[in-house]
Structure 1
Amino acid sequence: MNRASWDTLGAMSAIRRFAVTRLDAAARPGGLSVGALDESGQEKKGTATAGVKRQHLGCAGGIDNGINLVHLAYIRAGAGHTLIGSRQWIPTEQISDPIKAITTGLPLELTFATKGELAIDLLTDAYADGVRMDFVAGDEVYGACPHLRAFLEERDQAYVLRVRATFALTLGGGTCLSCEQAVAKHLRQKRTWTIRSAGDGSKGERTYAWAWIATASRSHYLLVRKHRTTGESAFHYCFVPAGQPVTLARLVAAAGLRWPIEETFEFGKDLFGLDQAQVRLYEAILRHTVLVMAALAICAVSAAAARRRTDTQAPPPTRPDQRPPADPGMIPLTVAEIKRLFNAATTRTPSLEHTAHWSAWRRRHQARARWFHRRARLATAYTLLS
């Protein structure tokens, strides 16, 4: 994997252009496009792998020995999502140790970069390939990076980035408050909140209470999401350049389109071995990631192209006492089902007919379960906590 002669970043660029073009073609006009930033960890044993150290790994649920890669996913509303860029985070002590750098195959020109700075590299490559996104989204790691925010604003790139409750805002009149303080002062009344969907999940609409606050800058806003039962709040720092539409609904839609990158990681790991690279050197790890990106992109764009003609679900329920339909229909082909069909078409066992039969059976039962989940939600009484 490390000694093979091929252009790793060139291959990543080709995958990126292929995926973005095909997802755009499959999307309905007017749907948002979001570039979602997030990191994904891989647990590792020992100390011989490039970038390995004890650090926070989401896959481990805390501190463990492993490596971290920063990813950029392209998410097209109503079509699909896939990874279009990756960079491995390398701790500074390994870069500055010449013996460690040589034994793990680190490039001579490699310098330390934070996860936010790696995100800038990924976005720079995407822009060079002609990728255009309505919004860039990310969690607190990226919202806390001033270099990333400045990079996006210099390019008039709108963003919705999660920030901590202690993140400082400058409001009208020069008042400086943390997000938590701003909410306590300006969003005390229930009428300032509105219930909106952050997107369609497998069990129905993901509804939360939302509110927003304008800052002293005409282009920056604080978007607040509150859980409808626990009252837990999440804060998003938003930038929308002059001349672009800015509404609460549009910001909520952009914030909701960040979560599919988690599903992308799930597909990449469970179906294509994103976290199962049996290699140690820096270039080999990146090349393994590129090969996974290629397989994931092919299945993602195939599912996007087949989405409209394979979605035969019955209309969703409108009343909690509504009787279930005689035929629930089938959910559209998913990335997992596309992979199973590809595997059956290229191997002798199981047969394609057998695989297609069980694919239809699963999709029908998933459609039935989804219908009942949505009906159950109609009977759930929510109260907005103050």
Structure 2
Amino acid sequence: MKTTKKQAAAAATSLAAQHWPHLLNELTASVIDPHLARPETRSTAHDLIAALLTPLTRKNCWTLAEHAGHPAPHRMQHLLLRARLDERALATALRSYIVRHLGTNDVVLVVDETGDVKKGTSTVGVARQYPGTAGRIENCQVAVYLAYTTPTGHALIDHRLYLARAWTQDPARLAAAGVPDQRKFATKTELAQQMIHTALEHARSAWVAGDEAYGRNPHLRAYLEEHRTGYVMAIAATDRLPTPRGPVAMKELAVLLPDEAWHKLSAGPGAKGERYYDWALIDDRADEAGVWWVLMRCGRSTGELAFYRCYAPAPVPLARLVAVAGRRWRVEESFAQGKGLAGLDEHQVRTWTSWHRWSLLAMVAYAFLVAVRVREARHHRGRDGLVALACNEIARLLNALLASGSGSEHVLAWSVFRRAHQEQARMCHYRRQAAQES
């Protein structure tokens, strides 16, 4: 890439980045400020959001307060535990902010859970359970999240902390952790249903996707069908489908399908090109309430199989179901970015209120990065030889340009170099994939 192109790209990025602090102020003013009663706590919330977006090695009340210039962590701790904050209204404002920036076209809501390994037993929700991220039973917290995804981007739109029966059957433990009196035991699927119900008020035509933990639950599927909400939910290879010859396991049914039943389709672009698989669709049933299918996916190089139960209130083509299935992995990316860039998993708090406030504010900080990425992508045409700005690059630039000891030119030059290299690697991957597929 010529020097003039690099200089032009750096100048364009610099001009855009200068507006980002203003956008951050707009976020805090519109999403956070209306739901905090006092100006002091509003100021603390601004400091906390800004500090969450910094590349601190650890993010907790102490490190965030130190970065913000506070003499002690007490203001941060007060915000998370005792300040008058309308959390429900803040969550609604966050959803509206995300919907406004990501739009309502082609929405897929993706439900999933994530866990944080913890020591001790006093922290709210901590129990011996399976967190998913560790791959084995651990002493941990588990929370269920809902991601809002469109073709332009994705962000975490809602969350629920899971309380195992060991908690809900122990009133003294609940009281010590500040859990509301009315809180009863709810399965992860029931928590997911609560969030989906709320999200559908913002996007009535949305689809829903989820992994086996949610796809195998008949009550969640029945709820979605009752509300005429399309879904593509993963199920197990051992699940059975009724046939004229009796129930047949999915993995056995896949072997019986003829070669012409499989179709090569992309589940969407990935880091190294389009994610091509072979897909097969089996009609289950159809009536006035909708259409049901079983969707099968086969890895083209590995032969690995995956299975999905699908529903739509009206017939849709195979490509539409494949697109929804391919969107499920976006929640994993949202977890990685929310944790890596906004400290979603770094809360060192023990009570119900402080956990929810930390998680909610971290989701707000991450939503800001997503909104900026979408905004900049609208102006990016790919003609400058640079990959579009990603959330991690926006966070890096935002912090470096605000507090750079080596000058903005140096910071921008490195950003342009990274993005040019990433674009070259991306194009190389796509060309190699095209050659292999031809």
Q: Do residues 270 (structure 1) and 270 (structure 2) align? A: no
> Who is 1:11 aligned against?
90
* TM-score, normalising length: structure 1: 0.87
CA deviations on 1:196-231 (whole Å, 9 max, x unpaired) are 100001110111110010013451100000011121
1:342 to 376, 391, 398: 398
Pick which of 216-225 and 151-160 moved more: 216-225
Mapped partners of 2:405, 2:161: distance in 1: 37
Change (3 A) 1:113 1:348: same
Kindly report which structure 2 residues correspond to 1:180-195, keeping only aligned pairs within 5 A, or say none.
180-185=251-256, 187=257, 189-195=258-264
Partner of 2:249: 178
State the identity %. 40
Q: Which runs of 4+ in 1 moved over 6 A?
A: none
Shift of residue 379 of structure 1?
4.0
Give the counterpart of 1:330 among 371, 386, 395: 386
Residue 158 of structure 1 contacts residue 239 of structure 1 at CA under 8 Å; is this kept in 2? Answer: yes
Q: Quick one: which amino acid aligns to residue 216 of structure 1?
A: R
Displacement after TM superposition at 1:168 (Å): 2.8
Residue identity in the other structure for 2:206: D
Contact 2:114 2:132 in 1 (8 A): yes
Partner Cα distance (1:124, 1:311) in 2: 37
Q: 1:230 & 1:133 partners in 2: Cα distance? A: 35
Change (3 A) 1:168 1:289: same
Match of 1:201 in 2: 270
Distance 1:20 1:348, change over 3 A: same
Following the alignment from structure 1 to structure 2, what is the Cα–Cα distance between the partners of residues 351 and 9? 42
Decide whether the 8 Å contact of 2:146 with 2:192 is kept in 1.
yes
Cα deviation, 1:251-292, whole Å, max 9, x if unaligned, reads 001100111111111110111111111101112111111111
Contact 2:163–2:185 (CA under 8 A) maintained in structure 1 = yes
Contact preservation (8 Å) 1:75, 1:257: yes
Structure whose residues are more often helix by fraction: 2
Matched AA of 2:372: S
Distance in 2 of aligned mates of 1:234 and 1:181: 12
Query: Of the candidates 53, 76, 101, which is equivalent to residue 22 of structure 1?
Result: 101
Q: Which letter does structure 2 place at the counterpart of 1:252? A: V
Find 1:249's aligned residue among 306, 319, 324: 319
Does residue 149 in structure 1 map to residue 221 in structure 2? yes
**2:200·2:206 contact (CA, 8 Å) conserved in 1?**
no
Query: Which AA in structure 2 matches 1:36?
Result: V
Number of equivalenced pairs: 356
Q: Assess if the C-alpha contact under 8 Å between 1:74 and 1:82 holds in 2.
A: yes
- Whether contact under 8 Å (2:149, 2:327) holds in the other structure is yes
Q: In the TM superposition, what whole-angstrom CA distance separates every residue of 1:111-166 from its partner, at most 9, and x where no partner exists?
A: 111111000111122134x2334310000011011221111111100000001112
Q: Which residue type is aligned with residue 51 of structure 1?
A: G
Q: Is the radius of gyration larger for structure 1 or structure 2? A: 2
Deviates more, 1:96-105 or 1:51-60: 51-60
Q: Which runs of 5+ in 2 are unaligned?
A: 1-79
Matched, 1:235 2:304: no
Cα displacement (A) at 1:352: 4.1
The whole-number CA distance in structure 1 between the counterparts of 2:269 and 2:277 is: 12
Give the structure 2 partner of residue 124 of structure 1. Answer: 197
Give the structure 2 partner of residue 282 of structure 1.
Answer: 352
CA distance in 2, matches of 1:366, 1:346: 24
Q: Which residue of 1 aligns with 2:3?
A: none
The residue aligned with 1:51 is 125
Residues in 2 aligned to 1:108 and 1:174: alpha-carbon distance in whole angstroms = 52
2:160 is aligned with 1:87: yes
Q: Aligned pair 1:215/2:284, yes or no? A: yes
1:166 aligns with 2:238: yes
Specify which of 111, 116, 119 is matched with residue 37 of structure 1: 111
What CA distance in whole angstroms lies between the structure 1 residues aligned with 2:353 and 2:300?
46
Letter in 1 for 2:204: R
